[in-house]
Chains A and B, each alone.
Chain A
Amino acid sequence: MTKRLLLAAVIMATAVVLTGQGCGGGGEKAATLTIWETYNDEEHPVFKEMVRRFEETHPGVTIDVVRLPFAGAEPKLRTALTTKTEPDMARVDVSFLPKLAGKNALAVLDEYVPEEFLADVFPVALKSCMYEGSLYGLPDQTNGLCLFYNRELFREAGLDPDRAPATWDELIIYGKKLTRREDGVFGLGLRNSLWWSFPFFNTYGAEFLSEDGTRCLLNSPEGIAAFQLKVDLFEKHGIEGGAWRAGGIQNDLGFQNERYAMIMNGPWAVKSLKRTGIDFGVGLIPAGPAGSHTNVGGNNLVVFKSCPDPELAAEFLMFVANEENQRNWALTLGQIPVNLKAMDTITSEEHPYLAVFVEQMRTAIPRPPTEYYPEIENLMIPEMQAALDGSKTVKAALDTAVREIDKLLAGE
């Protein structure tokens, strides 16, 4: 018993001495911050290394990293928030941020992140961190779709393997040359969801939501024309293989098995496609009447309101998004950096695929932040499906979807 007491006394004394010294160090603070992240197996070690260097330059600070599976992160965060056991920081999908901000769960970071720093952050990605005029996070990753094409199939069809179709009209011509129905080979394979359809809407200049976020505008003439093109590629031109159908060959699988000569895909696909040994190129999204504009996805780092030291947390977020770390991130993992200065260092000679993505992202159009994005997706998908399989006209399908979405946005 006495021994145990003695031990306790020694431990307490040591603790007092240690913390005392910490305070005497001036400016340095001892703190532990927890972050829940969803990086994949390649990204996780790179992130851990980043954390290690942050801890090194901030003596006394510990960043506790908890890695979660991407699919389970959202329910886990929701449970944690209801029971007030959330971490200090988390990595969340761009569509989850407005929901968290709208529910008042996040710390506002405007006062901690200086203007000069924000000026270097890729604006499209930064926009996904804004909610009702305030900054609620910093991007750690951004992405968008480009057009992948099979160079070998291009050669067989007598097309230039170094040149992707520049416009939708050109894509149709290419597609007709590439499609060999008897062999089950199609020029194109497309996915059906709102996110995967934004390249169509964006290249036609169709707006998604009204400025104030209360109305959906996808049934505008531009929106209808854009989706009509997607339907026509399958129905009228017959160059799309029906990849969006239930039981159809999915776009990336069809591309791997050389059934689709062209698909849209993001930078994450480059690495695994290289492993398959397929000779492929990446080009910009074909231009429509409004130019070539892709969609935007990605992830943001956020700080929760309950974090005792939001300033330190914001410092960590800025560390992740700074030029050096972003360049390192991009070059190690082949992903699009979120820092403009890091973006400028990526050359097409050294990083041919990545350079195309970086170029494409510069004209990308982000979704306006809405708390209801997942619900909007759910309302859009069946209507888009009906338009694609011909059971509804494009106008009727989009009108119905927009009517339902407007009800949702009006809070009905």
Chain B
Amino acid sequence: MSVRRTSAVGTVVLYAGLTIAAIIVLFPFFWMVVTAFKQPGQAFSAEILPSRPTLENFSRVLSEFGFGRYFANSVIVATTAALFATMFATCAGYVFAKKQFFMKDKLFTFLLISLMIPGMMYVVPQFAIINKFGWMDTYRAMIIPHLANVFGLFLMRQYMMTIPNELLDAARIDGAGEWQVFLNVMIPLSIPIIATLFLLTFQFHWNNFLWQLIVANVDRLYTVPVGLAMFKSAHEELYTLKMAGSCISVLPIAVLFFFAQRYFIEGMTMGAVKE
């Protein structure tokens, strides 16, 4: 009885704590949405809900500021980059986890060392290469330099190492070829980590500001973060417009996580394997 009572109290405390945490986490989003509907100049008025809500910010962001175009650019860049980066990392992760080849461990260590170098250090040399290729002002320049993702490889390898070799051997005994083992055993078992990596890389590319700005010299190639930065000039920031732009920019991430979250939970139950 007493055990149940403490657990009931515990539940209340837990839920109260979680509710407060949820409010803290969600309030900035709420404020962003509310501000996006405010009149310009009212951005910092203390009212919780705008007294004269307006859709003008959204229509201006989309028409005058060309956010439709930026949005499309971001979708193209982030989706392609995340798709290919995940694909390469999955293939490489499988090889590093389950195959033997000459200098495998040394090569892996070497790749890991590259993770220790801050990303900023790559910007100038990468830019020099892109420029030499004549790729300035192209989607290629925005996508290709980021396709080899060592962190993704590391993530994949660590996860795939936990998948028992017996499963692969069982498939081979059943007559599966190398591709079949990879496609029909390895990939389905790794879906949770593949989804995670896809989301992480998608989010990274969706938010990437500096690189996309550096390789684009025409505003028809600007992405959403670059477009958002346009609302801030030397001394002034157009907050209501910026928040409307931000609302549009969080949409795909929000949608992705909404669906991927379900996927994660399903994925968790999939690894039920007896050793």
- Write the residues of chain A forming the contact surface with B, with a CB cutoff of 8 angstroms: 38-41, 43, 66-72, 75-76, 79-80, 82-83, 85, 93, 143, 253, 256-257, 266, 268-269, 272-273, 275-277, 297, 299
Contacts and interface: CB of A to CB of B under 8 A. Distances in A.
Given A39-B233, A80-B214, A275-B40, 7 more contacts: A66-B219, A69-B230, A70-B234, A76-B213, A79-B214, A82-B124, A257-B46
Interface in B116-143: 123-124, 127-128, 131, 136
Contacts of B234: 38, 40, 70, 93, 268, 297, 299
A261 B202 CA distance: 47
B236 A268 contact: yes
Given A83-B128, A268-B235, A272-B236, A71 B217 contact: no
Contact of B229 (A66, A71, A269, A299): A71
A253 B217 contact: no
Q: Which 5 A-B pairs have the closest CB atoms?
A: A69-B229, A40-B233, A275-B41, A276-B41, A268-B235
A79 B45 contact: no
A72 B127 contact: no
B209 A72 contact: yes
10 contacts: A40-B233, A67-B230, A69-B213, A72-B210, A143-B235, A257-B45, A266-B235, A269-B236, A272-B41, A275-B40
B131 A85 contact: yes
A35 to B, nearest CB: 11
Contacts of A275: 40-41
Contacts of A299: 234
Contacts of B136: 85
- The contact size tier of chain B is 20 to 34
Contacts of B131: 83, 85
A146 to B, nearest CB: 13
Contacts of A83: 124, 127-128, 131
B172 interface: no
Contacts of A39: 233
Contacts of B247: none
A256 B214 contact: no
A67 B231 CA distance: 12
Given A41-B230, A256-B44, A299-B234, A66 B210 contact: no
A79 B230 contact: no
A71 B232 contact: yes
Interface of B: 40-42, 44-46, 64-65, 123-124, 127-128, 131, 136, 209-210, 213-214, 217-219, 226, 229-236, 238
A72 B218 contact: no
A7 B177 CA distance: 53
B236 A72 contact: no
Contacts of B235: 143, 266, 268-269
A404 B65 CA distance: 44
Main secondary structure of the interface of B (DSSP, over half): loop
B219 A79 contact: no
A124 B171 CA distance: 79
B44 A72 contact: no
Contacts of B213: 68-69, 72, 76
A285 to B, nearest CB: 17
A41 B210 contact: no
Contacts of A256: 41, 44-45
Contact of A79 (B124, B226, B233, B238): B124
B238 A76 contact: no
B240 to A, nearest CB: 10
Given A38-B234, A41-B65, A85-B131, A72 B229 contact: yes
Nearest to A277: B41
Contacts of B218: 66
A144 to B, nearest CB: 12
B101 to A, nearest CB: 36
A297 B233 CA distance: 14
A277 B45 CA distance: 12
B244 to A, nearest CB: 14
B40 A272 contact: yes
B44 to A, nearest CB: 5
A395 B132 CA distance: 54
Contact of B233 (A70, A75, A82, A85): A70
Given A79-B214, A83-B128, A85-B131, A72 B40 contact: no
A66 B219 CA distance: 7
A296 B30 CA distance: 39
A257 B46 CA distance: 8
A194 B131 CA distance: 39
A277 B80 CA distance: 47
B226 A76 contact: no
A197 B56 CA distance: 38
Contacts of B44: 253, 256-257
A143 B56 CA distance: 31
A72 B233 contact: no
B61 to A, nearest CB: 11
A399 B41 CA distance: 41
